[in-house]
Amino acid sequence: MDKIYEVCDTTDDEMYFPMGMFLSLESAIAGIKSACCEDWPLTEHADEYEKIVVREREIGMHGDGIQVYKFERCQEYNEQTDESKWVEVEK
Q: Give tens-digit pLDDT for 51-72.
A: 999 999 988 767 778 999 999 9
Mean pLDDT rounded to a whole number for the chain: 89
Element (H, E) at 30: helix 25-35
How high is the pLDDT of residue 22? 96
Residue 59 is classified by DSSP as: S
* The residue type at 52: I
Report how far residue 66's alpha carbon sits from residue 57's, in angstroms, rounded to the nearest whole number: 7
Q: Provide the 10 A C-beta neighbour count for residue 10.
A: 19
Higher pLDDT, 55 or 44: 55
